[in-house]
Structure 1
């Protein structure tokens, strides 16, 4: 007998692993077969997308967080017919500007020869989580440990990936799409989320109050509720 639950592939962001999606994997187990993709090996978005597709069911639901959203867009280019529904979480669709690409190269140059790799250092945490959560040592400790666990080589590889414009590929999809974003996301701010929704014709947007960029970890109940509604559409 076939499993009646849809496969939900969860795509992590830069320096994220399955810890990012811990509360989604457990909290959505009754409505989906959750599988967290490993995006730590691959020299291009195409490499990563093809790795995900090779291990995926014939059709699946797809949720991409931050950098994982760009991998989702590449999957939409390669195999749109296999995507049953798509969630874009705290991500973007535009290609890097020349300035942003140069900034990435400079960061990689610095990160490649500095001392111990610190992952998301304390000074960076303020751009990752809402100000109200900076004193939450359980949350910030989980994020810090995750980024340190993946380390320098994964950071250099992922930060060096060329981000391509995904508007056309997403606009061509004929499946339920939802955009989910933290109200105070400093990395992919709300203005960009509204612009993305307009560009791809998505009318379903969920703004998570009092949350920053790391919504799956900061506000798991709200994210899970939004994903449940999307899975039921």
Structure 2
């Protein structure tokens, strides 16, 4: 792992490969280890960067009252410090909100967006009662031993066809969650609504979803597709929320095809 300092915080990341920069933002309860199939599978043509978000993995915990604006500034600071050129940004689930916040505040930084299992923020994509249910669920779980809630989360992240070894890897990653980090990220993004941002996006954007995603279902995907001008929607059959891990070959092919089409 490498690291940079941004606003007094150590932000850790992995960097692999050579070529145009592709930066990966993981979801809540995860860290850069979630991207092993992409660090290996895309680094032949891209320099792949996978950060540990503030409060996750080997990165420092941010302030508990972290705001969306703070998160956007930290993300921009990380990109300026660690990434040497205009990057492609790929955000998974909560990581898609990181990418949208970055675009909202600093639209000149990214070259493209790849939004995976994405939301326009929970409040921008889900009914109000579901937003509050998820918010309360995370708050209730944050101080529990991870093994108490991991088993409840896993069936919402994968289909029943997923490789058990992959599911076990995700369980191991989630077991490392830190309460302080979760509280900070919930503070920044738990009630975010990025619907006003979507029509302003002018860079090439890929929306990439699993067909059987329970957490961010296809009606969410179609609404983002409708709102983001010129966006492309790709759906991987028989795959759930964590498409990059459940179907890495199909996922990597979609990302390659999109980014090569942009370069071409």
TM-score (norm 1): 0.88
1:126 to 143, 150, 155: 155
Aligned to 2:238: 210
Aligned to 1:22: 36
Aligned to 1:172: 200
**Whole-Å Cα distance in 2 between the matches of residues 123 and 168 of structure 1?**
33
> Are residues 1:61 and 2:61 paired?
no
> Are residues 1:51 and 2:78 paired?
no
Please state how far the C-alpha of 1:189 moved relative to its aligned partner: 0.3
**Whole-Å Cα distance in 2 between the matches of residues 7 and 205 of structure 1?**
22
Aligned to 1:12: 26
Please state how far the C-alpha of 1:155 moved relative to its aligned partner: 2.9
**Whole-Å Cα distance in 1 between the matches of residues 218 and 67 of structure 2?**
27
Contact 1:120 1:148 in 2 (8 A): no
Aligned to 1:99: 129
Aligned to 1:153: 180
Which consecutive residues of structure 1, in runs of 5 or more, have no partner in the other structure? none
> Are residues 1:37 and 2:51 paired?
yes
Please state how far the C-alpha of 1:109 moved relative to its aligned partner: 4.1
Contact 1:117 1:152 in 2 (8 A): no
Contact 1:111 1:156 in 2 (8 A): no
What is the aligned residue count?
Answer: 228
**Whole-Å Cα distance in 1 between the matches of residues 121 and 151 of structure 2?**
28
Please state how far the C-alpha of 1:23 moved relative to its aligned partner: 0.9
Please state how far the C-alpha of 1:219 moved relative to its aligned partner: 0.7
Partner SS state of residue 80, structure 1: coil
> Are residues 1:230 and 2:253 paired?
no
Partner SS state of residue 88, structure 2: strand
TM-score (norm 2): 0.78
**Whole-Å Cα distance in 2 between the matches of residues 166 and 123 of structure 1?**
28
Which consecutive residues of structure 2, in runs of 5 or more, have no partner in the other structure? 1-16, 56-61
**Whole-Å Cα distance in 2 between the matches of residues 98 and 28 of structure 1?**
38
Partner SS state of residue 82, structure 1: coil
Contact 1:39 1:48 in 2 (8 A): no
Task: Label 1:113 to 1:165 Cα distance change in 2 as closer, same or farther (>3 A).
Answer: closer
Per-residue CA shift, 1:179-212, capped at 9, x if unaligned? 0000100000011101110011244111111110
Q: Any residues of structure 2 matched to 1:73-112 within 5 Å, and which?
A: 73-96=100-123, 98-112=128-142
**Whole-Å Cα distance in 2 between the matches of residues 137 and 9 of structure 1?**
27
